[in-house]
Amino acid sequence: MYECKHCHIKVRGNVKCCPLCQGELTGTAEQNIFPIIELQPPLSQKMFRIGLFITLIAVAICVGINLSRPQDGWWILFVLAGSGCFWFSIGIAMKKWHNVPKNILWQVIILSVLAYFWDIKTGYRGWSLEYVLPFLCIGAIIGTCLLAYFLKLHTSEYILYLILDGILAVIPLILLLKHKLNVLYPSAICVSISIILFGGLFLFRRDLFFSEIQRRTHL
């Protein structure tokens, strides 16, 4: 066992210096008492490709819809540009690993607002609220869940952003109930996914779910 002559303490394990004075230790090393945790690199590339693939599926569906309804105009170009911007931002966010769930939430808000103004400026056709907003919300919820799973994030690192992603789905719900939309299914899917999300959080992460709400709302 190691000993610090200065602090008169005995130190267990295989340490380099005294934990109190950082001074030199005398004696012999013993087997380390703490397990050595090997840090695994994040599966960022894999997650990135899965997310990209999900986007590709969504875009492919949009291409199909747009090709079958050319009278609506070529809104698919905007979806392509939007998805491109979204994944470009994600790509940049991936280089900086701090708080990606928060980053995703911000992307959804920024891109939805941009799309809405874009839609209005190009003679409002409704694609921003009918397609972009619900698909971004769906992407954010699924993306954050995949991120949390593959990066093994601690619940506290993503739960708030996941809750907020789910709350964003209230906007498509309100638009649906107010009969503001012509194309209903993207918003309907978004609301369904949000219900599944909150159900899942309530069933499997109940304690953290409520403690996070309490902490943030100071109730």
Residues that bind Zn ion (CB under 5 A): 4, 6-7, 18, 20-21, 23
Compute CA distances 37 → 19, 34, 77, 115, whole Å: 20, 9, 48, 45
Q: Nearer Cβ to Zn ion, position 20 or 56?
A: 20
Neighbour count for residue 201 (Cβ, 10 Å):
19
Q: Which two tokens stand for residue 144?
A: 């954050």
Which is nearer to Zn ion, 16 or 178 (by Cβ)? 16
Q: Six-digit token pair at 46?
A: 């894999």
Q: Match 């004696």 to its residue by tokens.
A: 27
DSSP state of 113: H
Least separation in angstroms between CB 4 and Zn ion:
3
Of 8 and 95, nearer to Zn ion (C-beta) is 8
CA angle 168, 47, 57 (to 5 degrees): 65
Q: How far is the CB of 1 from Zn ion (least distance, A)?
A: 14
In the bound complex, what is the minimum distance in angstroms from residue 33's beta carbon to Zn ion?
Answer: 18
CB of 36 to Zn ion, least distance (A): 24
Nearer to Zn ion (CB atom), residue 23 or residue 64: 23
Rank residues 13 and 23 by Cβ distance to Zn ion and give the closer one: 23
DSSP state of 42: P
Q: What's the min distance (Å) between Cβ of 24 and Zn ion?
A: 9
CA 142 to chain centre: 8
**Smallest gap from residue 29 Cβ to Zn ion (A):** 16
Of 18 and 175, which CB lies nearer to Zn ion in the complex structure?
18
Within 8 A by CB and 6+ apart from 44, the residues are 94, 97, 151
**Two structure tokens written together for 75:** 């809104």
